[in-house]
Structure 1
Amino acid sequence: MLKTTGRLLAAHWPALLAWFLAGVLVRYLVIELAGFVGAYSAVGGLLLMPLAILARLVGFVAMFLTVRDGMARLGAIAPLPPSASERRRAFVDALLAGVLPFFAFYAAWGYLRDDMAAYSARALEVQTEVNGASELLGGEAVARGAGTIDQLGFEPVTILLIVVAFAGRWAWNRYRDRLPRLLSLVAVYLEAIWVFLTVMLLSQATGWIGEWVASRQGMVWLADLRAWTAEQLVPIAWVWEGVEWLLGELGGVILLPVAWLTIAGVIYGQAVAAEAPQLSVGILDRARHGWGALPSGVRRRLADIGGELVSRFRPIGRAFVLMWRAGPVLIGGYILLATLLVAGERLLGYGITRAIGPHDLKTFWFVADTAILLVVPLVTEPVRIALVSSAYDAVIGRLAATDASAPGAPTAPGSDADAAAASVADGQPEDRRRVGDELEVDDERALGIGREDERSDDVERLGPHERA
């Protein structure tokens, strides 16, 4: 991973830096525009806010796809599209697949909260300026509160926007071959709208549920019991607090790198799929049996209804399957490297502030802090993308090597992951086809049940003589 990371950085560092800067700049401009519009209408402002997050997503997708030509193992399995039109289509597909996991990641790590705070601050600033000018000129002031800035919760207009955006995205996916290519940008925006509004509503609902649970009498009793235990059994309280701290730290250390690798898996995974392990659990077995017992027509209708929503989560599931099959040593090594990168990021920020020295908070840091601290992500984000991409390439290599060593797999010389990588460098199409064929076998195994259902449906539609 270290070798591949260094090679990707050496080959693509200027392009990675340019895409990252473009995403940051467009996000800032969109938040400024959304804050101006949100000062007058919450609906208008919040319809613009997904574009700010999309700007970051476009930047990251472009960064991931920029380094793809240096990922030998991924190139052996899923070569780059040869034509410009196919590459544009792959870029749009990667955007559409990445909207849901990226927005979820964006909200979970507090980036969405920061964007909404910047949006609200800008909107309040506009309202203050407009109201001040209105007082001087005797005009009408902008109303504060309901209907402006971010007052858009569980209301009919919010639900309607989600339904319309989801329906428009579904229609584009169904008729995309008949529609102009330019509408693919509209499809990306519609996907971002319904995901953004849904994430906001889920965040509000989670907050309400948390407040309700915290206000229950049972939670008060538990808090009193914990306080009494801490007073009576001090060593146990120390151990309990230590375990809580350790779990919290481990969660942040492990989940952040895994989230980045999942996003990379969704972006790169449009052409790569691994066979998921079959879980043998009683409730799952009964569910599979019940699904198979349903009439074929009912199964088709239910698949049509749920397929559009489930398709958003399928790439995420495939990314987790790839990580599962890669093994704990490879993923653990990647998490270690990602944690060292985070530590270096914080040390770099600490060093920059100490090198600049003490200055006045209002006249210096409030003005220059963003430009100064932007140096940190300018250094670390290209490294992060290269590291995540190299980790995904290693995961793909482990997948190919595992499949090649499985019983019944081809045992020809050079069937490991390094040979697959060498086949790209040496231009040997035989090894490339062999590795791709192994993954196609995995796909056929994973889709075997579905194909049996299709064949049974075809037999039901045939007449007696045709069946014979």
Structure 2
Amino acid sequence: MLEIIKGTVRLYARHLPALLAFFLAGWIANYLLIRFAGFVANIDPLYGYLVLPLAVLVRVASFVAMFLVLRPGKNFVEALSSSILPFLVVFATWGLIKTDWVAFASAQLEQRSLDGTEPPLFVTVTPITVGVVVVAFVLRLLLKRSSEKLPKWFGFIAAYLEAVWIFLAIDLIGQVTGWVMEWLDGRRLVAWINDTLAAIGDAVAPLKFLWEGAGWLLGQAGVVIGLPLAWLTLAGIVYAVTRPEDSPTRLAAAAEKRLKRFPPFIRARLADVGGDLAGRWLPISQAARLIWRSGPLTVALFVLSYAVLSTIATWIQFGVNRLIGPHDLSFWMATDTGILLAISLLVEPIRIALIAATWSYCLTLSPAGRAELQLEQDKVRQKVQPGEA
């Protein structure tokens, strides 16, 4: 634990200006793009949904840049491209992306003309919206296949297309899921099952209490334990230093054997899609495996440190509010964003430094991690020696 604390302090002290600059740049760009997305959404909701992923993308880019400042070596565009999907999953799972959704809706409502000609607030599942998802996914796949022949800046276009199709797909899938659940709730069998479970819960009060308590406990564990580990995994994805498996798994070998039965054209397209999916999963599985091998003590100490830092941030906000004193609602609406930004500028660099220091410590606990650390050091020496010469 002492090594992690020392590493956190060292990274924070050495890179604080850059961490603050990247976080503030991401925050400002996110705010301005959300306002612009709300403006164009009043022309057509789909326009807003094409801009809103940019707001989320700059937030992801700022975190990726903060991680790379603390541990340089990987190309920024490559790190950003491989991190978009995991970041969005984490944001969506723990409600971190909800802030952007609320801000987007508020910006759209604030900029409406209210003359009765405004379009709807949100997009719905239509052939056009589904087509946008498909086109964005296909274009992103084509850019990835041709990445070696295209200029480096095309990577940013690929990152935007990645954010568009994922962002829209999450929203559309959520709508379809809502329709399905609403349809199921109207079925007699489902209604009977719900009524039966409710009757059992009322008849056996302790069982209902235990069930609700277990649900609450799992929810709290997801935030207290799951969120820190998710961020640590994201750091591993950004740095991508774990060594891939040399031999294919039995499942991969079976899939390759079945793939040979298809015609060459279909086999090539399936290989593209399968390789893309495997490329997304491999960094996640490698990072999670390395964290697991670091041992329960390291994980527990990191989770505890993360929780302490989050608690400190909450108490700072509480103390600032108490220091300012009671005011009317309009005052808090005007100042709340600035207060939260100031606290984030204080806490976020420490949190990112803690995550990066913990990841570096995890690498030292496994042979593969130590090998990759040595490989990184060799690459740094190779870059430095020509300059010295």
TM range (shorter): 0.7 to 0.9
CA distance in 2, matches of 1:235, 1:313: 42
Q: 1:314 is matched with which residue?
A: 282
1:12-411 aligned within 5 A = 12-69=15-72, 80=73, 90-128=75-113, 131=115, 142-145=117-120, 149-150=121-122, 152-269=123-240, 271-275=241-245, 290-291=254-255, 293-294=257-258, 296=260, 298=262, 301=268, 302-362=270-330, 364-400=331-367
**Matches of 1:293 and 1:186, distance apart in 2:** 35
Q: Distance in 1 between matches of 2:70 and 2:273?
A: 37
The alpha carbon displacement at 1:393 in A equals: 0.9
Contact 1:40 1:142 in 2 (8 A): no
Query: What is the alpha-carbon distance in structure 1 between the residues aligned to residue 128 and residue 96 of structure 2?
Result: 25
> Hey, what's the Cα distance between the residues in 1 that align with 2:178 and 2:51?
24
Relative distance call for 1:250 and 1:42 in structure 2 (3 A) is same
Distance 1:92 1:429 in 2: 22
SS of the aligned residue for 1:60 comes to: helix
Instruction: Identify the range of structure 1 (297-306 vs 308-317) with the bigger mean alpha-carbon deviation.
Output: 297-306
Contact 2:78/2:155 (<8 A) preserved: no
CA distance 1:243–1:277, change in 2 (3 Å): farther
The 2-side partners of 1:276 and 1:255 are apart by: 30
Shift of 1:222: 4.5
Contact between 2:81 and 2:155, CA under 8 Å: does it hold in 1?
no
Worse overlay, 177-186 or 218-227: 218-227
Task: Work out the CA distance in 2 between the residues paired with 1:335 and 1:64.
Answer: 19
Residues 38 and 107, structure 2, Cα contact 8 Å, conserved in 1: yes
Measured in 1, the distance between the counterparts of 2:43 and 2:256 equals: 54
Query: Which residue does 1:440 correspond to in 2?
Result: none
Structure 2 gaps of 5+ residues are 383-389
Unaligned runs of 5+ in 1: 70-79, 81-86, 132-140, 280-284, 405-416, 434-468
CA distance in 2, matches of 1:122, 1:373: 19
Equivalent pair of 1:31/1:49 in contact (CA under 8 Å): yes
CA shift, 1:297, in A, is 6.8
Cα gap change, 1:176/1:290 in structure 2, threshold over 3 Å: closer, same or farther?
Answer: closer
**Deviation by residue 1:382-402 (Cα, 9 ceiling, x = unmatched):** 1111111111112211123xx
- How far is the alpha carbon of 1:95 from its aligned partner? 0.6
Structure 2: distance between partners of 1:294 and 1:35: 48
| Larger-Rg structure | 1
Distance 1:276 1:218 in 2: 50
Q: TM-score, normalised by structure 1?
A: 0.72
Residues in 2 aligned to 1:235 and 1:173: alpha-carbon distance in whole angstroms? 56
Greater displacement, 311-320 / 295-304 = 295-304
Q: Distance in 1 between matches of 2:43 and 2:129?
A: 17
Report percent identity of matched pairs: 38
1:288, CA displacement in angstroms? 5.9
Q: Name 1:450's counterpart in structure 2.
A: none
Change (3 A) 1:156 1:307: same
The answer to whether the 8 Å contact 1:36/1:123 transfers is yes
